[in-house]
Structure 1
Amino acid sequence: MMKVVQFTIPVEIDNSIHLQEDKLPHFYEHLHRHTETQITWVISGEGTLIAGNTMQRFQSGDLFVIGANQPHLFKSDPSYFDDANRKSIHSLNIFFNPTGFIAQLLAFPEMRGIKKFVTASSFGMQASEKDAAKLSEHFLKIRNSTAGFRLAYFIELLQVMANLKKWKYLSTESFEFTITDSEGLRMNDIYRYTMEHFTENITLDQIAAVVYLTPQSFCRYFKKHTSKTYIIFLNEVRINEACKKMMEMDFDSISTIAYQSGFNNVVTFNRVFKSITGKAPREYIKEYHKKE
């Protein structure tokens, strides 16, 4: 059984920030958290990101800020676990402790904008496609520099990020508080079961049994920890899968997507899809492929 792992980021000797470049078969597969704020540029890789109480697709080129102590998981698509595909992921990550050295820098009046950004980042954020491309250039400057220049370029990155206007918040809650291991264990088992069985008709009795709760207790527990009902979360997982198929053009018709994503009929699928994405399925497909 998995749990929210309290992850310890390696400390670089004589460095105030930690830069980590990952070239692996897949992303780290456990729900985890750490005291550092994490800025991640996904150079290559696709899957589902769980951050705090929300989830969404991620793909190559995306750039995220994960808040300090925010439970998160970059879950690679199943194809990355198939040895026959020989797929791999590549990412650059910057970790810094918002209560460490940066707190002293934020005391200067010139750092007012950065201080506001760092505070807002506790909810988790995603840059727009255009801004992610711009920020990736700053990532490379940091990676290719050392000592004082690396710190200077990092502060420059924070200032550029603070000036951006189109950030998308990942979560509706900050996670500066500590989550117990038992709570993390339950939540991760709920996430794992849902993502493995979302194409099936999951009843409240079934999902409640996964974490040894009555349906009524489960509903209260899930709402307390995510600020949403389980049905809403389940529909988000299903629509997430539908969006993936639309992006990859992996379908014969809208009804095929609906049934393969776990919906019993197209009418319900269309209604739920629009309520979550703000667009009708055909409109979503048209707009997505128009951008390519």
Structure 2
Amino acid sequence: MKALQFTLPVTYDKSVIVQEEQLPHFYPYLHRHNETQLTWIQEGEGTLVAGTSMHTFSSGDVFLLGANQPHLFKSNPEYFSNESGKQVRSMTVFFNPNGNLSSLFELPEMQVLGAFIQQHSGGFKLPSKYVKSVSQKIVEMQESQGFNRFMLFFQLLKDLYAINGKLEPLSMVPVDHVSESEGIRISTIYNYIMKRYDTMISLEDVAAEAHMTPQAFCRYFKKHTGHTFVTFLNEMRINEACKKLTTGGAESISTVAYSSGFNSITNFNRVFKSVIGNSPREYLENYRSNF
């Protein structure tokens, strides 16, 4: 698979950009950019990869992603079928806190907001009770231009700052300011794993894709992600298994296990409990009891 540009260019004729998208699925490659982004998922379901962590997303979720934080909104498989009729819709606010806004955030009155953005460079998911007010601000920004948009932007940051302390980071691994070539290599590795997590993928397979020996790859992957290859692969498989268990489409837990890349029920149960904290059956029972 050809590696795509890791840093995506965004137009610089505006300090704050609001982008609205309506597509069959989200951009399917891990990427990063200089801009911090606040994304409101209006329609769509899947997995958000932020740094080295994975989170389920669905319609109505709002996420902040830090500047240069590698990320990917991975749409569920059905979104890639032409017959499904499914689509994704989102609105995203982009701004570069270290670009032409940096001097503004250095003003004494603005330093608290600058510190807030820096503090949450690992991103966060907005608590559901704040989604309505924040998404409304995003819509108002999209419908405004010039000075009015700029003022709404700072009101939006003020609203986010007001809920500081209640925000769990999406990723605990610090953003690694790697070179463009290193970023492309990491992107290639991530995308390779995400496309093949449900197969019997081996360390040797991924190392060959990265043009490394298995030993060199293990050191490289751990350095840049904070995870071992096996840990990352298992977490991805368990994340997908959780979605299959809760959507009701799977015939049984064993079907979920094998379709998520595990070669035995015993191994699936062991890994599931180590990642989630309880067994697949307990997880499913807890999920059903909340509905």
TM-score (norm 1): 0.89
Aligned residues of 1:122 and 1:176 also touching (Cα < 8 A)? no
* Percent of pairs with identical residues: 44
Aligned residues of 1:4 and 1:31 also touching (Cα < 8 A)? no
Matched with 1:171 is 171
1:141 aligns with 2:146: no
Q: Distance in 1 between matches of 2:279 and 2:161?
A: 33
Matched with 2:127 is 128
Cα deviation, 1:162-185, whole Å, max 9, x if unaligned, reads 12233221222333624332x233
1:236 aligns with 2:242: no
Cα deviation, 1:193-217, whole Å, max 9, x if unaligned, reads 2222222222222222222221111
Matched with 1:119 is 118
Q: Distance in 1 between matches of 2:10 and 2:22?
A: 17
Q: Distance in 1 between matches of 2:166 and 2:251?
A: 35
Aligned residues of 2:245 and 2:253 also touching (Cα < 8 A)? no
Gaps of 5+ in 1: none
Q: Distance in 1 between matches of 2:100 and 2:288?
A: 44
SS in 1 for 2:249: coil
SS in 1 for 2:97: coil
Matched with 2:198 is 199
Q: Distance in 2 between matches of 1:275 and 1:60?
A: 28
Q: Is the alpha carbon distance of 1:74 and 1:135 closer, same or farther for their aligned partners in structure 2, counting shifts above 3 Å?
A: same
Q: CA deviation at 1:119?
A: 0.4
Q: Distance in 1 between matches of 2:136 and 2:290?
A: 22
Gaps of 5+ in 2: none
Q: Distance in 2 between matches of 1:42 and 1:4?
A: 24
Q: Is the alpha carbon distance of 1:234 and 1:159 closer, same or farther for their aligned partners in structure 2, counting shifts above 3 Å?
A: same
Cα deviation, 1:88-130, whole Å, max 9, x if unaligned, reads 1100011111023433333344434322221023222222333
Q: Distance in 1 between matches of 2:244 and 2:199?
A: 17
Kindly provide the amino acid, as one letter, of the partner of residue 30 in structure 1.
Y
- How many residue pairs match? The answer is 289
Q: CA deviation at 1:26?
A: 1.5
Aligned residues of 1:70 and 1:122 also touching (Cα < 8 A)? yes
Cα deviation, 1:5-60, whole Å, max 9, x if unaligned, reads 32111234xx4211110111221223222111111111111222222222332221
Matched with 2:180 is 180
The worse-fitting range, judged by mean Cα deviation, of 65-74 and 130-139 is 130-139
Q: Distance in 2 between matches of 1:71 and 1:114?
A: 22
Q: CA deviation at 1:276?
A: 2.0
The worse-fitting range, judged by mean Cα deviation, of 248-257 and 273-282 is 273-282
1:16 aligns with 2:38: no
The ranges of structure 1 where at least 4 consecutive aligned residues each deviate by more than 4 angstroms after the TM superposition are 289-292
- RMSD (CA atoms): 2.2
Q: Distance in 2 between matches of 1:218 and 1:16?
A: 39
Q: Distance in 2 between matches of 1:131 and 1:279?
A: 30
Matched with 2:284 is 285
Q: Is the alpha carbon distance of 1:136 and 1:170 closer, same or farther for their aligned partners in structure 2, counting shifts above 3 Å?
A: same
Kindly provide the amino acid, as one letter, of the partner of residue 173 in structure 1.
V
The worse-fitting range, judged by mean Cα deviation, of 81-90 and 160-169 is 160-169
Q: Distance in 2 between matches of 1:288 and 1:130?
A: 20
Cα deviation, 1:50-74, whole Å, max 9, x if unaligned, reads 2222233222112111211222222
Matched with 2:221 is 222
Aligned residues of 2:7 and 2:180 also touching (Cα < 8 A)? no
Q: Is the alpha carbon distance of 1:33 and 1:282 closer, same or farther for their aligned partners in structure 2, counting shifts above 3 Å?
A: same
Matched with 1:5 is 6
